[in-house]
Amino acid sequence: MNDAKYQDISMEPRRIIWRVYHTISLLHTSCLFLVIHWQGDMDIAPLFGISLTIPFLPPPVLVYWHTPPVGSYKINTDRCVKDGFASRVEIIRDSSGQCVHIFFSSYGECPILQAELWAILDDIIIAQRIILSNL
């Protein structure tokens, strides 16, 4: 170990074992030590308190889009934050399923909660415009 050579710290077996155990535990809890890294050594993972079982995932559920009632609109939105930058896209359809409005906005670098609140405010403003244009 570098400590023994450069810092004149003796190499005690218990200390080495503890540091290896601690490093592996930190890498695992930080999601930096993946199942693939254990290939060939899967039988020792439990010694570190690491479970390599694949979690059970429920089967996918089919979701259907239905047109809104006659005289009303449906707003479908999708929001995304990538590398700290938030954006969203929105599609508004009328009761026949025709696209009335497509909207994209970028909120720049901001926390997810702030982006969600901006998107809700945008939805309210757009809904008000649609209602007013139909009066």
**pLDDT at residue number 112:** 79
CA distance 92 to 101: 5
First to last CA, the chain: 78
Quick check: 101 and 128 in contact, CB under 8 A?
Answer: no
pLDDT of residue 69: 92
- pLDDT score at 118: 86
**CA torsion, points 37, 38, 41, 44, in degrees to nearest 10?**
130
CA 27 to chain centre: 20
> What is the model's pLDDT at position 22?
81
User: Could you tell me the mean pLDDT of each successive run of 10 residues in the chain, 135 residues long?
Assistant: 68 81 80 77 80 74 88 84 83 89 85 84 82 69
Structure tokens at 23: 């490093």
- What pLDDT sits at residue 1? 53
For residue 24, the model assigns a pLDDT of 82
